[in-house]
Structure 1
């Protein structure tokens, strides 16, 4: 058996489930989630730090205290390229949902979008967890510091943890579905034709891509190099296998063939 096959034997069923349960899908589902939401909190007074536009492409950016604190936090810990990506994620998904007449909690959607890639930031990476879980945990800690109600923080956790698995996320409430749809649209251009060209131009002018493609590849390869088992059964493993010699992460077939059954 190859070295890769021998390594696969050392992966227990529990490890496989903990590190790679479910293959993350990249794409946009045609259906939108059930329009059930709670009203956004009223805007609260507070200092304006690096204020965002009030609207972009007809999409309102929430101006609550929590939204401002979240945007300031995301901007501080993220690169400019990553920050622009999370903002476009909110704008793309909100534009689609607004045009479909879907009701959702705008503040919650904005917060989830702004925080959804914290797991790519070195300060919030753990040695073993998938980046989606790292990001969800970091967001939950931030929201606890902001005294956000536990049930609202839980929605944000789910939105971030599920955002690379569109097939699951789009079966959940709108604020969860939006992060998967919006991030997939910005990452791979999924269903970008749904965005009118003039509105697309306005979004890209407000939050330029600024080398996002290469930045995303670099982030993926960083995860693959520093904690390869976190991408077990994850689409990012494909990038690792293409670019990293002797990439140690087994494939799904390796895991299957290494299962401890005599056949």
Structure 2
């Protein structure tokens, strides 16, 4: 199987690090023209620099897509994309009884409404051209709601609902809409969360990550945290021509954490 995105224009939101950056890099390696997105000029420029020679087909958009103004600015600059990856997201361990309204709203605007606005802006053009791909990067936490960050799990469930409904809304148009559900993944954010344990134990990040999975996601079958590239591979596949019969799906890259047959 040869996945080729030559001539395709791809947007990956929240893509200056982690799963988003790995996904943007994968699309570039497959021949796509890619717009990366981050909130600061420094983070975007750093990401472009880390791409090396691949940056020749990449552009950076600096903007906060968790608000309407940021999305409007994006659409004004880039009126067309063939593939939209709604990756922008935040997470934070916080007890339900200590999570204020403002945090619920911040998580909702960032994790849910950014994807709603971006998809609403670009899907009509995809329909007109008869081809397009929209992917929401959700989480196994959207199915297996974590007790220590209910507000996060709620937003990831919301993404699943929107993706499934939008797939139905776009039935027969040649535009597919899917969700990808990562499990524990060694992104920069997770690495930061585990850094204290790395320093305390002297173990590698991979070892500490595996110990975290065994303790907090004991149903994991791979018994380790995934690499960002492993998640990116699924995102890139479901965005490809080869995945044309896959839509409305929730595709897990969770290492088997969710104990379900389907």
**Same fold flag (TM > 0.5):** no
Greater helix fraction, Structure 1 or Structure 2:
1
Question: Using CA pairs below 8 Å that are at least 6 residues apart, which structure has the higher relative contact order?
Answer: 1
Greater strand fraction, Structure 1 or Structure 2:
2
When normalised by structure 2's length, the TM-score is 0.25
When normalised by structure 1's length, the TM-score is 0.25
